[in-house]
Amino acid sequence: MLLPLGSLFCYTIRMKKSRTVKQKVIGRPRTGITPLMGFRADPATRAEIVRWAEKQPDMPSLSEAIRRLVELGLTVKPALRPSAKAAARAAELAAKVIDRRIDPKAPIEEREVRKQRLLKGPPVFRDLRKDLAK
């Protein structure tokens, strides 16, 4: 069946334009730009932090108190190891005390062996010490 040229019907179907929808973000909104760091603390540690925060003049929140304590801990210089002179003096004082306490009836060689063993410490602890050369 042929239709005359003047009677053509055009059907155009227009689709609805899609709308972009912003997806909902689940959870609490972000409050800062720095990454979150969390840790677990036992109740005693938490109580100490709270007591420290209560003593501060501006009464910081728990998270602010933890931040301040971490900053304080990072600014403290580590304790210096005793100098060689101080270590020698400590060994000398220990040797004097050992000489006074050691059994005078033991032979001289035995006393020297005992003294050296006491000054060096047990081998288990010597293996654990990091400051001694192996």
Q: Examine the domain organization and report whether 122 and 88 are in the same domain.
A: yes
Q: Is residue 101 part of a domain?
A: yes
Q: Is residue 61 part of a domain?
A: yes
What pLDDT does residue 56 have? 95
Structural domain of residue 48, as residue ranges?
A: 43-75
Scanning the chain, the segments in alpha helix (DSSP H) are 43-55, 62-75, 84-101, 108-120, 123-128
Q: Is residue 28 part of a domain?
A: no
Dihedral angle computed from the Cα positions of residues 61, 62, 63 and 68, in that order, rounded to the nearest 10 degrees: 90
Domains in the chain: how many in total?
2
Q: Is residue 50 part of a domain?
A: yes
Q: Examine the domain organization and report whether 68 and 88 are in the same domain.
A: no
DSSP character at residue 25? P
* 58-117 pLDDT, tens digit each: 999 999 999 999 999 999 887 777 788 888 888 889 888 888 888 888 888 888 888 888
Q: Is residue 30 part of a domain?
A: no
Q: Is residue 17 part of a domain?
A: no
Ramachandran quadrant class, 115 (left: phi over 0; alpha: psi -120 to 50; beta: rest)? alpha
| Percent of the chain clearing pLDDT 70 (strictly above) | 84
